[in-house]
């Protein structure tokens, strides 16, 4: 049984030793650059911790776990172009440090590297792993497309928003757990149940992200308070507020969203005040906790190794209470 710290170290070591070619430099350097930025390695950890729910790990499961992380970083490289995001983890995004063409093509190459790592799975698991990886990758593209489409809409329903974050974020967490379940030796039914656990965790985490943007300890979160409000993002908070507000408050909210060049602090304070009056924080917490509760309920009925389960729960709960 391996600790979270030990697993995290294995992941980082393996990521630093990807057998990337040196030439052409402009194709491969951006891949190493992005991977070296770090990150929580949440997805490969989820793969390994889920496999451990069945017992001890073998070293062969590391590459497919890493594949999920490389895939995730590929989506970040392309998303940063589409979102015109200059920074990634506080450093220049690839399309900024190099240029856009480099970010497109290195991203494509990175996607292939993800497939190469996934293909290292044991032959008996290859077909199902690749098929499910394909389906998941396509869903992640759909989620990003919906996210971009929603920017053009004046309003988005809660249902559509939840479907968007499910595709963009949650399915990959679901797949991470399903893949861990596959490699750990769970049967297909349990693998699918583990997928559900991951998907529900993912939905909960995304709502938590929306919540923390406004109500988090911004030093801990490492982001500007109310960044989503300033960027006029249609978060779960904003969508709920628009749904619940009466005519006047709705007009006020719409007013803040449509104003350009508003003082950011004033705007965040005003919108936050509306959220508070409508008890949005409480509503989001209820929804978020419903997803987390469902995840742990689903996990409870799976026959797990006791030690593995303890480590998994420690990890998952540690992420959930991060804002206290």
In whole angstroms, how close is the CB of 63 to a copy of itself at the nearest point? Answer: 13
Q: Residues near 307 by Cβ (< 8 Å), separated by ≥ 6?
A: 1
Q: For residue 187, how many C-alpha atoms fall within 13 Å in the half-sphere facing its CB? A: 3
Q: For residue 143, how many C-alpha atoms fall within 13 Å in the half-sphere facing its CB? A: 22
In whole angstroms, how close is the CB of 123 to a copy of itself at the nearest point? Answer: 6
> Which residue in the set 1, 36, 85, 138 belongs to the binding site for a copy of itself (CB under 8 A)?
138
In whole angstroms, how close is the CB of 27 to a copy of itself at the nearest point? Answer: 4
> Which residue in the set 3, 6, 16, 26 belongs to the binding site for a copy of itself (CB under 8 A)?
26
324, exposed or middle or buried, with CB in 10 Å at 0-12, 13-18, 19+?
Answer: exposed
- Give whichever of 81 and 299 is closer to a copy of itself, judged by the CB atom: 81
Q: For residue 142, how many C-alpha atoms fall within 13 Å in the half-sphere facing its CB? A: 16
In whole angstroms, how close is the CB of 259 to a copy of itself at the nearest point? Answer: 26
Alpha-carbon distance of 61 to 63, in angstroms, equals 6
- Give whichever of 100 and 273 is closer to a copy of itself, judged by the CB atom: 100
In whole angstroms, how close is the CB of 180 to a copy of itself at the nearest point? Answer: 21
- Give whichever of 14 and 120 is closer to a copy of itself, judged by the CB atom: 120
In whole angstroms, how close is the CB of 300 to a copy of itself at the nearest point? Answer: 34
Alpha-carbon distance of 205 to 42, in angstroms, equals 12
User: DSSP state, 279?
Assistant: T
Coil/strand/helix, residue 14:
helix
112-120, 182-190, 289-297, 305-313 -> range binding a copy of itself (CB under 8 A): 112-120
**Contact between 1 and a copy of itself per CB under 8 A:** no
**Contact between 131 and a copy of itself per CB under 8 A:** yes
49-57, 111-119, 255-263, 296-304 -> range binding a copy of itself (CB under 8 A): 111-119
Residues paired with residue 87 on neighbouring β-strands, in sequence order: 92
> Which residue in the set 4, 18, 126, 290 belongs to the binding site for a copy of itself (CB under 8 A)?
126
**Contact between 127 and a copy of itself per CB under 8 A:** yes
Alpha-carbon distance of 272 to 281, in angstroms, equals 10
Q: Which of 131, 141, 110, 10 is nearest to 63 (CA)?
A: 10
Alpha-carbon distance of 223 to 309, in angstroms, equals 32
Q: For residue 304, how many C-alpha atoms fall within 13 Å in the half-sphere facing its CB? A: 26
Alpha-carbon distance of 94 to 83, in angstroms, equals 13
Tokens 């797949």 — which residue? 175
> Which residue in the set 2, 12, 96, 108 belongs to the binding site for a copy of itself (CB under 8 A)?
108
| Binding footprint of a copy of itself, residue count (CB under 8 A) | 35
In whole angstroms, how close is the CB of 67 to a copy of itself at the nearest point? Answer: 11
Range 50-79, binding a copy of itself (CB under 8 A) = 78
In whole angstroms, how close is the CB of 104 to a copy of itself at the nearest point? Answer: 6
Alpha-carbon distance of 186 to 135, in angstroms, equals 20
Q: Residues near 209 by Cβ (< 8 Å), separated by ≥ 6?
A: none
Alpha-carbon distance of 232 to 238, in angstroms, equals 9
**Contact between 171 and a copy of itself per CB under 8 A:** no
**Contact between 144 and a copy of itself per CB under 8 A:** yes
**Contact between 145 and a copy of itself per CB under 8 A:** yes
Residues forming the site for a copy of itself (CB under 8 A): 21, 23-24, 26-27, 78, 81-82, 101, 104-105, 107-109, 111-113, 115-116, 119, 123, 126-127, 130-131, 134, 137-138, 141-142, 144-146, 148-149
């Amino acid at each position: 049984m391996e600790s979270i710290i030990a697993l995290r170290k294995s992941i980082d070591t393996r990521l630093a030793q990807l057998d990337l070619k040196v030439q052409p430099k402009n194709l491969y350097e951006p891949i190493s650059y992005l991977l070296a930025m770090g990150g929580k390695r949440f997805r490969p950890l989820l793969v390994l911790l889920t496999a451990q729910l069945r017992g001890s790990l073998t070293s062969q499961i590391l590459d497919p776990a890493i594949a999920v992380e490389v895939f995730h970083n590929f989506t970040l490289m392309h998303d940063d172009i589409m979102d015109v995001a200059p920074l990634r983890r506080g450093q220049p995004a690839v399309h900024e440090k190099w240029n856009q063409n480099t970010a497109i093509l290195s991203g494509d190459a990175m996607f292939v590297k993800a497939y190469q790592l996934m293909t290292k799975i044991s032959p008996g698991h290859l077909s199902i792993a690749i098929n499910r990886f394909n389906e998941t990758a396509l869903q992640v593209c759909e989620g990003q497309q919906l996210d971009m489409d929603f920017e053009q809409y004046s309003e988005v329903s809660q249902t559509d928003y939840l479907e968007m974050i499910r595709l963009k974020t949650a399915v990959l967490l679901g797949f991470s757990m399903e893949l861990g379940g596959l490699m750990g030796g769970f049967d297909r039914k349990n693998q699918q149940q583990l997928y559900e656990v991951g998907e529900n965790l993912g939905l909960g985490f995304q709502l938590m992200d929306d919540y923390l943007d406004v109500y988090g300890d911004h030093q801990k979160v490492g982001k500007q308070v109310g960044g989503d409000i300033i960027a006029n993002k249609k978060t779960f908070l904003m969508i709920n507020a628009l749904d619940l507000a009466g005519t006047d408050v709705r007009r006020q909210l719409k007013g803040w969203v449509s104003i350009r060049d508003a003082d950011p602090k004033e705007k965040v304070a005003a919108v936050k005040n509306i959220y508070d009056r409508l008890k949005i924080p409480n509503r989001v917490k209820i929804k978020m906790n419903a997803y987390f509760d469902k995840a742990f309920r689903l996990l409870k009925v799976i026959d797990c190794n006791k030690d593995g389960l303890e480590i998994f729960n420690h990890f998952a709960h540690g992420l959930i209470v991060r804002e206290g």
